[in-house]
Chains A and B, each alone.
Chain A
Amino acid sequence: MAANGIDKALGISPQVLALRMKRMNLLTANIANADTPNYKARDIDFRAAMASATASQARLDATKPGHIAFSGSTEQPQVQYRRPLQESTNGNTVDAQLEHAAFMENAMRYQASIQLLDNRINGIKKAIKGEP
């Protein structure tokens, strides 16, 4: 991502939106597969994903001869499987209520980020035009 002035002015909202979108896809997949036998519900740890998305240069130092050089991308968030409260008999671990709550929460936070981004863009516009 180019580090020009406008990018800096927008803060971390673009990364937040990208991650929220990713999480939304996962949660939609969970809802879509609510009746699929042996499907395991998945989600991401948003805090960890956000930390790795905003870290400018994540790296692992090879301090000993036996260490393997780290070449993995830190951009892709780690997808994890949800631990089911109660497993169903067909091996499906989707809890419809839980997924719904998470989906709505994710959507609302997405909108909050959009709102923040909106305000920032309007602020920049005002600054460019020189209007009060």
Chain B
Amino acid sequence: MSLFDAMDIAGTSLSAQTVRLNSIASNMANANTVSSTPEDTFRARTPLFKAVLEAQFGDDASKMGVQVDRIEEVGGEPRAEFNPGHPLADEEGYIYRPNIDVATEMVNMMQASRSFQNSIEAINTAKQLAMRTLTLGK
């Protein structure tokens, strides 16, 4: 049991939120990626978080980090758009756009960056307390 455990826990959150930010960035970057078939069209992905009682933390139940359980495809079916002049149009003249709501992705991004900041704050406080403890009696 030490203040470093708090840093470990917050650290797991940092990496989980980074995965989330990465997937959001990829979703937004591919929001306008068109394709010829619905199957090939890009789908929005989002990580699912899971609380994890890591073995490295020992059997102390107070140390519960977070990790990415799996990455799931979300969002609806690709939207078909009639655009016969497009180079990627199929025989019937349709192209397919991914069903990505950029506003939702932006909101998710804000949430992820807030959570990231919160964890940073927790690490900073833990560090200050640890430094203060080290200088005890000086």
Q: Is the CB of A114 within 8 A of B133?
A: yes
Kindly state the interface size class of chain A when it binds its partner. Answer: 20 to 34
Cα separation A121 to B49 with both chains bound (whole Å): 45
Contacts of B115 on A, CB cut-off 8 Å?
34-35
Assuming A37-B49, A39-B51, A114-B136, is B122 touching A31 (CB within 8 A)? yes
A44 to chain B, nearest CB (A): 8
Q: Closest A residue to B11 by CB, please name it.
A: A32
Q: Which of A17-40 contact B (CB under 8 A)?
A: 17-18, 21-22, 24-26, 28-29, 31-37, 39
Q: Is the CB of A121 within 8 A of B13?
A: no
A28 to chain B, nearest CB (A): 4
Contacts of B63 on A, CB cut-off 8 Å?
25, 29
Kindly state the interface size class of chain B when it binds its partner. Answer: 35 or more
Q: Is the CB of A31 within 8 A of B13?
A: yes
**Chain-A contact segment, one of B76-84, B93-101, B124-132:** B124-132
Q: Is the CB of B118 within 8 A of A18?
A: no
Additional A-B contact list (12), CB under 8 Å, known A24-B129, A33-B49, A118-B137:
A22-B1, A25-B60, A25-B62, A29-B62, A29-B65, A32-B122, A35-B115, A37-B48, A79-B61, A111-B129, A117-B136, A117-B137
A interface list, Cβ under 8 A from B: 17-18, 21-22, 24-26, 28-29, 31-37, 39, 42, 79, 96, 100, 103-104, 107, 110-111, 114, 117-118, 121-122, 125
